[in-house]
Amino acid sequence: MSSIDFAALAERDHADPLAAKRNLFRIPTDTIYLDGNSLGLMTHATATRVQEVVQRQWANDGIKSWNQHDWVNLPSLVGDKIAPIIGAAPGQVICCDSISVNLFKVLSAAIKLQDGRTQVVSTQDNFPTDLYMVQGLSQLLGEKHCALTTVDENAILEQPSQFINEHTAVVLLTEVNFRTGRRLPLQQLIAHAHAVGALVIVDLAHSAGAMPVELDAWQADFAVGCTYKYLNGGPGAPAFVYVAKRHLQRLNQPLAGWFGHAQPFAFDPVYQPADTIKQMLSGTPSIIAMSAVDAALDAFTGVDLQQVREKSIALSELFLELLASYDFAHAFECISPADPRARGSQLSFAHDDAYAICQALIEANVIADFRAPNYLRVGFTPLYTSYTDIGVAVERLAAIMQEESYRAPRFQQRHAVT
Ligand SMILES: *Cc1c(COP(=O)(O)O)cnc(C)c1O
């Protein structure tokens, strides 16, 4: 049995330097939202901005808006707004397409820069789309030009030279594992890869906006990330791509669309890539969606990402501590690293009934998610998750476990999206 000291949690919220940021967000009524690692919540400013783009710009100004409202530069403007969040100097980040598509572009470009080397090394438990993109490229170019090797995370850390060596063209690493929340020491792995002449592509899907990232300082070569998780850009919002300045001049990505041309409005029949980050663009940017991203990013104005990280750790440690005070806790096996520095901003628990428990939580307005085979994930978004939220979430979980309400048949029904 346990009882949660809500007065103490309220005090922690009161002392929280990020507490005021919560007011920027639309928090669904009576809801504890622990799924910002999958789809971040909407800010009030985002709703206003989308209305403005639709009702005023598009409706009144039509095509003139490309110039009048600077739509044409939105991908670069948003890219430069994301840049400081991921430790990049201006001119190296642009907003476009999805992580998947951007990965295809940077993978191809990186392999081309490495003529001779053909091996792409990644982790076995990487997010599937990352591996699929390498597999697709390998099918297109042939195994002789691009071959994927996947390695266990522990093995790559324990014996980096065995897997990242003079045969390696590209290392594709996701900083935070989507299933376990484990965080890889990127700086160290990048240094190792560079020492043997390999290039590194970093996937920041679960990092951008959740913790400090230092792409320039780590000397990453390329990076991709999405804007709909911790950056709160909206469902399917356009992603971002980073190319280190030193590679821009020699860059050659294969999805050579007119927006990546040196002079898109010259309508030249022959492709001539822009020698700036704009080369990463392919077709016409999705302005309504990108405007939402632009507005959502304003929530990060004045935010110290070190503070975000500290609060993320404090929230996750609080969750573990409160959970541990209940008898049912032993049935939840935490598969995330015990050391918070080795985690992202989520906790994952293995439980035989994880799916049904997750459904029961959602019915109780505690939004978590489920990942196969049997993991319950809870994400912490320091800009809007409060310490009180964690108390309420654990209390509602406790009620579900103690009453075994998750055993009801309606919670066993599998939905298309988990
Ligand atoms: C969420 C996520 C993706 C999603 O890719 P999309 O192309 O945006 O659908 C890719 N990689 C990782 C590591 C992710 O966590």
pLDDT digits (tens, 9 = 90+) for 72-99: 999 999 999 999 999 999 999 999 999 9
211, two tokens: 């913790």
Boundary of a domain, candidates 257, 272, 300:
300
Looking at the structure, tell me whether residues 20 and 163 fall in a common domain.
Answer: no
Q: Is 409 annotated as a binding residue?
A: no
Residue that finishes a domain, picked among 300, 330, 354: 300
Statement: residue 103 has pLDDT above 90 = yes
Q: Does some domain include residue 42?
A: no
Pocket test for ligand 1, best of 38, 226, 229 (most atoms within 8 A of CB): 226
Peptide bond connecting 90 to the previous residue in cis, omega within 30 degrees of 0: no
Q: Which residue has the least CA distance to atom 13 on ligand 1?
A: 127
| 299-333 tens-digit pLDDT | 999 999 999 999 999 999 999 999 999 999 999 99
Q: Are residues 368 and 222 part of one domain?
A: no
3-state secondary structure 27-78: CCCCCEECCCCCCCCCEHHHHHHHHHHHHHHHHHHHHHHHHHCCHHHHHHHH
Render pLDDT for 287-299 as a digit per residue (tens, 0 to 9).
999 999 999 999 9
Mark whether 163 and 251 lie in a shared domain: yes
Give the helix/strand (H/E) hosting 410: none
Question: Are residue 288 and residue 309 in the same domain, yes or no?
Answer: no
Q: Which residue has the tokens 């642009």?
A: 94
**Closest ligand 1 atom number to CA of residue 229:** 1
| 38 domain-assigned | no
pLDDT tens, position by position, 175-228: 999 999 999 999 999 999 999 999 999 999 999 999 999 999 999 999 999 999
248 is a domain residue: yes
Residue 288 and residue 251 in one domain: yes
Does residue 200 lie in a domain region?
yes
Looking at the DSSP bridge assignments, the partners of residue 371 are 375
Q: At a CB cut-off of 8 Å and minimum separation 6, what does 67 contact?
A: none
Range of the domain at 334: 6-30+304-411
The verdict on whether residue 30 carries a ligand-binding annotation is no
Residues 176 and 274 in one domain: yes
pLDDT band of residue 415 (cuts 50, 70, 90) is confident
Going by pLDDT thresholds of 50, 70 and 90, the confidence category of residue 52 is very high
Stretch 170-178: mean pLDDT: 98
State how far the Cα of 25 lies from the Cα of 296, in Å rounded to an integer.
9
CATH number at residue 111: 3.40.640.10
Q: Indicate yes or no: pTM above 0.75.
A: yes
Three-class secondary structure of residue 132 per DSSP: helix
pLDDT at position 2, please? 64
Task: Convert 32-71 to b/e letters by CB count within 10 Å (16 or more is b).
Answer: bbbbbbbbbbbbebbeebbeebeeebbeeeeeebbeebeb
Residue 418 in domain? no
Residues 133, 114, single domain; the answer is yes
**CB 399, CB 334: distance < 8 Å:** no
CB atoms within 10 A of CB 4: 16
Give the pLDDT band (50/70/90) at residue 160.
Answer: very high
Domain count, the chain: 2
Encode pLDDT of 327-383 as tens digits: 999 999 999 999 999 999 999 999 999 999 999 999 999 999 999 999 999 999 999
Residue 313's pLDDT is what?
A: 98
- Please check whether residues 207 and 263 belong to one and the same domain: yes
Residue 319: predicted pLDDT: 98
258 lies in the same domain as 326: no
**101 and 213 inside one domain:** yes
Contacts of 151 (CB under 8 A, 6+ apart): 121, 122, 123, 124, 163
Pairing label, strands 239-243, 93-96 = antiparallel
Asked if residue 288 and residue 144 are part of one domain, the reply reads: yes
What pLDDT score does 91 carry? Answer: 98
Residue 363 domain-assigned (yes or no)? yes
Q: Answer yes or no: is 128 within a domain.
A: yes
115: confidence class by pLDDT, cuts 50, 70, 90:
confident
Confidence (pLDDT) at 1: 52
Taking all residues of the chain, what is their mean pLDDT, rounded to a whole number?
Answer: 97
Q: How would you class 352 by CB atoms within 10 Å of its CB: exposed for 0-12, middle for 13-18, buried for 19 or more?
A: exposed
Could you tell me if the CB of 129 is within 6 A of ligand 1? yes
* DSSP character at residue 112: H
Q: pLDDT, tens digit, for every residue of 26-43?
A: 999 999 999 999 999 999
The rounded Å distance from CA 98 to ligand 1 centre is: 8
Give, in order, the Cα–Cα distances in Å from 209 to each of 145, 226, 233, 275.
Answer: 35, 10, 11, 28
pLDDT above 80: residue 46: yes
415 is in an annotated binding site: no
340 and 272 in a common domain: no
Last residue within a domain, chosen from 300, 315, 345 = 300
Band of residue 273 on the pLDDT scale cut at 50, 70, 90: very high
37 domain residue, yes or no: no
The yes-or-no verdict on residue 13 having pLDDT over 70 is yes
* Residue keyed to tokens 């541990």: 324
DSSP codes joined into one string, 185-249 = -HHHHHHHHHHTT-EEEEE-TTTBTTB---HHHHT-SEEEE-SSSTT---TT--EEEEE-HHHHT
Q: Is the CB of 130 under 6 A from ligand 1?
A: yes
CATH of the domain at 12: 3.90.1150.10
Does the CB atom of residue 205 touch ligand 1 within 6 A? yes
| Residues annotated catalytic, as ranges | 127, 203, 228-229, 377
User: Token pair for residue 224?
Assistant: 């991709």
Q: Does 203 belong to an annotated binding site?
A: yes
